[in-house]
Amino acid sequence: MKTSTAGLFLPALIGRASAAEPGAALPIPDVMDLRGGSLEALDAITGKTGILQGFETPTIGYSQSYLGPVIRANRGETARLTLGNRLDENISVHWHGLHIEGAQDGGPHSMVAPDDTMDAILDIDQPEATLWYHSHIHMRTAPHVWYGLAGMMIIDDPDASDNGLPDSYGIDDIPLVVQDRNFERNGNMPYAPRGPNLMMGYRGNEILVNGAIRPEASVPAGLVRFRILNGSNARIYHFRFDDGRNFQQIASDGGLLQAPVTMNKLTLAPAERVEIVVDFSDGKAAQLLSLQDENLEMAMMARMIPAPTAITDAGEFEVMRFSVDMAKPAIVTPLPAIFAGAPNPDFGEPVRRRVFSLDMMASGGGGGMMGGGGMMSGGGHATAINGVSMDMAVINEEIKLGDTEIWEIQAAGMAHPFHVHGTSFKVLTNNGQPVDYATTGMKDVALVNGITELLVRFDRTADADIPYMYHCHILEHEDLGMMGQFTVT
Ligand code: C2O
Ligand code: CU
Ligand code: CU
pLDDT at residue 351 above 50? yes
pLDDT band at 20 (very low <50, low <70, confident <90, very high): low
The pLDDT of residue 299 is 56
Q: CB atoms < 10 A from the CB of 25, how many?
A: 10
The pLDDT of residue 198 is 85
Those residues whose beta carbon sits under 5 angstroms from the ion ligand 2 are 96, 421
Residues with CB under 6 A from ligand 1: 94, 96, 134, 136, 271, 419, 421, 469, 471, 473
- 398 φ/ψ angles, rounded to the nearest 5 degrees: -120, 130
The pLDDT of residue 5 is 28
d(CA 403, CA 425): 13
pLDDT band at 9 (very low <50, low <70, confident <90, very high): very low
pLDDT at residue 380 above 90? no
Three-class SS state of 404: strand
Q: Domain map of the chain by residue range?
A: 6-156, 173-325, 352-488
Q: Whose CA is nearest to atom 3 of ligand 1?
A: 96
Fold of 173-325: Immunoglobulin-like (2.60.40)
pLDDT at residue 1 above 80? no
Residue count of the chain, please give it. 489
Task: Judge contact between 315 and 291, C-beta under 8 A.
Answer: yes
Q: Whose CA is nearest to atom 1 of ligand 1?
A: 96
What does the pLDDT average to over 30-39? 95
Q: Which amino acid is at 397?
A: E
For the ranges 162-176, 370-384, 447-461, 473-487, which has the lowest average pLDDT? Answer: 370-384
pLDDT at residue 377 above 80? no
CATH top-level class for 352-488? mainly beta
- The alpha carbon of 469 and the centre of ligand 2 are apart by a number of angstroms equal to 7
pLDDT at residue 183 above 60? yes
d(CA 216, CA 22): 8
The pLDDT of residue 22 is 75
**Going by CATH, does the domain composed of 6-156 fall within 3.30.1300.10?**
no
Burial 377-386 (b: 16+ CB within 10 A, else e): eebbbbbbbb
pLDDT at residue 445 above 50? yes
| Mean of all residue pLDDT scores within the chain | 91
pLDDT at residue 304 above 90? no
Q: What is the pTM of this model?
A: 0.93
